[in-house]
Amino acid sequence: MRELRRLIGDAACVSDGQCRTIAMGAAACGGPTAYLAWSTLRTDPAALQEAAARYTRQASVPPHGANPSTCRVLPDPGAYCQRPTAVAASSPIPGHCRLRESPGKSAAPIQ
């Protein structure tokens, strides 16, 4: 996870078009267990994808004696650029990519 956080950095953005999500982990019935928001402004997409794939491979092997995860579908919440409210839309001051809230559940990043 440290590598992913390092690659994502501050997820700086100046527009929603720079914000993306990346799936993390492996749920029991398929699909991810969480999403992270990242920005195309400062993150290498190929390096991030490879780090996410490594994380998912490692996370899909449950520790000995662990209970399997529940089967639930976690939809991609999407991401947006959250900019300071006092900053004009044309300002070069960056904001930060954030996950949108999924209906009925917050898409909080995993630690």
Q: Mean pLDDT in runs of 10 for the chain (111 residues)?
A: 92 94 86 93 95 87 56 87 74 85 52 39
Domain span at 69 = 2-99
Q: Is residue 109 in a domain?
A: no
Q: How far apart are CA 101 and CA 82, in angstroms?
A: 13
Predicted local confidence at residue 58, as pLDDT: 84
Predicted local confidence at residue 43, as pLDDT: 95
Q: Are 37 and 47 in contact (CB under 8 A)?
A: no
Q: What is the pTM of this model?
A: 0.75
Q: Which helix (H) or strand (E) holds 7?
A: helix 2-8
Instruction: Name residue 81's beta-bridge partners.
Output: 97
Angle value at C-alpha 4, between 16 and 9, nearest 5 degrees: 55
Predicted local confidence at residue 19, as pLDDT: 97
Q: Is residue 14 in a domain?
A: yes
Predicted local confidence at residue 83, as pLDDT: 84
Predicted local confidence at residue 26, as pLDDT: 84
Q: Is residue 104 in a domain?
A: no
Q: Is residue 87 in a domain?
A: yes
Q: Is residue 47 in a domain?
A: yes
Q: Is residue 107 in a domain?
A: no
User: For the chain, how many structural domains are there in total?
Assistant: 1
Please enumerate in sequence order all residues whose Cβ is within 8 A of that of 57, keeping only pairs 6 or more positions apart, or say none.
Answer: none
